[in-house]
Amino acid sequence: MPARIVVLGGGVGGTLVANLLDKDLGRDARVTVVDPSGMHDYQPGYLYVALGEAKGHWLSREERTLLRPDVDLAIERAIRIHPDAGTVQLERGGNLEWDYLVVATGSRLVPEQIPGLAEGSFEFYSLQGAERLAQELRTFDGGRLKVGVAGIPYKCPPAPVEFTFLVEEYLRKKGVRGRSEIELLSPLNRAFTIESASELIQPYMDERGIGLTTFFNVEAVDPSAGVVESLEGEKAEYDLLVLVPPHKGAQVVIDSSLGDPGGWLPTDKHTLNVGGHERIFGLGDATNLPISKSGSTAHFEAPVIASRIASLVHGTAPKENYGGRVMCFLETGNGQATSLRFDYEHPPQPPKPNRAWHTAKWLFNRLYWETVPQGRIPENAPFSKPPAMAAPKE
Amino acid sequence: MTTAEITRSIDARGMACPGPLMTLIGAIREGQVGDVIEVLSSDEGSKTDIPAWVAKAKHELIEVTPDDGYSRFVIRKAR
């Protein structure tokens, strides 16, 4: 009898792990992806929607079209995971039985955690939010623009900094930069979570006149007064406020008592096993791992999980471990970008922003649909390894 | 060692930056004025980040004690 493998979530990680397992195991496994929407969204594109450079319909495809033909897709919401029984309960009734479970349920936005945030701020972390922000920016005639983060952890750590650089360029081209003030409200004592990247980008922020307020952890937004308040007791006045909403893990993880208070899965940093369960794996945003919540993380974790499950199915000891590999681009405006390539042992050494990395990001965004979900990005692609392991040409 | 009664203890050893500071910030958010929070962190950045944040947020840093491979921070929520 083939091994029954259930993958919860049809995002980057879930789709890739399902395709790899089907490819590796063939008739030895029956792989089922469970996803409530049946749609696959390319979320890194929302940043460009907000700036009027991308259309929403480019960023979504039917999950079925991205899965190998032999992978089953259940367009269902999983409501409870039963680790001991080896089942997943579905909202519309019934249970799915599994021998191996991959939880790739991602993260969700919870703007309601911050009073006034939904009414008083804009965001580009959902398609709807990005389209609303794009509309607002089109009519923005100058003023105080504040960009901040309303909770850690959040998806795609470079995105707020990227938005700040890109919106500065946007306002400049629109001719309203001179009457605009742009400021990044950072929850940390620097612009970005990673110190080396912060040191690299700070001079560019200074050069473009982008202000920085540090240790600003958003506590509340007062839309009528146009004021955002921090936990540290500071207030910032705004005309346009763009905040990354707080994030939380999936409800099914919380309801199944598998997560921590934030709903993140306690996951082994190397084996990616969840909570000591040998047959349950956590992937992507859903985990509590101290690394970026990003598609890139899920992309590099998926082959490890596929390999470990394949070994278990074949009755051999799993050998492959996740080393914390992540690769992100960071747009710095003016057609330039840098890259962050790192793992648990090698902090990033981001190169000076240049056109090549901007072009690489542009290319990656366009090639995504035909490459990443199917596992067509080669392991030794020059941009995928930390610089200590492979130094790419700049 | 402080004699203040610890209300909440956070073992953030092994957590990478900015994890320990963010966990402390979460505990301050959830806590009551007067709570005493202990944070154990092996992250080098915590040695500067935690005292700097506590000063900015106007809480009280009661103690910083280096130990074997980590530091112990004791903070009182002051407001």
HSE-up (13 A, CA, CB side) for residue A277: 21
Q: How far is CA A3 from CA A9, A101, A387, in A?
A: 19, 11, 39
pLDDT recorded at residue B3:
63
CB within 8 Å: B53 and A195: no
A 68-97: CB under 8 A from B: none
Q: Tell me: the pLDDT tens digits for A7-21?
A: 999 999 999 999 999
> Does the residue B52 lie in any domain?
yes
pLDDT recorded at residue A345:
84
Tokens representing A272 are: 């990616």
Which candidate in A196, A213, A232, A234 is best for mutational testing of the B interface (most B CBs within 10 A)? A232
CB within 8 Å: A231 and B45: no
Partners of A196 in the beta sheet? none
CB within 8 Å: B79 and A233: yes
Q: Does domain A3-106+250-324 have CATH number 3.50.50.60?
A: yes
Q: Which of B6, B16, B17, B55 is catalytic?
A: B17
Place B2 in a pLDDT band, splitting at 50, 70 and 90. Answer: low
Number of domains in chain B: 1
pLDDT recorded at residue B23:
87
pLDDT recorded at residue A381:
60
Q: Which residue of B has its CA nearest to A113?
A: B29
CATH value at residue B16 = 3.30.110.40
**CA gyration radius for chain B?**
11
Nearest to A290 among B16, B28, B52 (CB): B16
For B12, the domain range is 8-76
pLDDT recorded at residue A384:
53
Low-confidence residues of chain A: pLDDT under 50: 382, 386-394
> Does the residue B49 lie in any domain?
yes
> Does the residue B70 lie in any domain?
yes
Nearest to A232 among B15, B45, B57 (CB): B57
φ, ψ of residue A290 to 5 degrees: the values are -80, 50
> Does the residue B43 lie in any domain?
yes
> What's the rounded Cα separation, in Å, for the pair A338 and B40?
34
| B17 in active site | yes
- Say if A380 is an interface residue toward chain B (CB within 8 Å): no
Q: How far is CA B57 from CA A147, A195, A212, B6, B17, in A?
A: 20, 21, 17, 20, 19
Partners of A148 in the beta sheet? A185, A243
> Does the residue B66 lie in any domain?
yes
- Say if A65 is an interface residue toward chain B (CB within 8 Å): no
> What's the rounded Cα separation, in Å, for the pair A3 and A96?
13
CB within 8 Å: A215 and B52: yes
Burial A61-96 (b: 16+ CB within 10 A, else e): bebbebbbeebebbbbbbeebebeebbbbbeeeeeb
pLDDT recorded at residue A387:
47
3-state class (DSSP) for residue A176? coil
Q: What is the pTM of this model?
A: 0.92
For residue A212, the chain B residues in CB contact (below 8 A) are: none
Domain ranges of chain A: 3-106+250-324, 109-247
Q: Tell which CATH classification among 3.30.360.10, 3.50.50.60, 3.90.550.10, 3.40.50.620 matches the domain A109-247.
A: 3.50.50.60
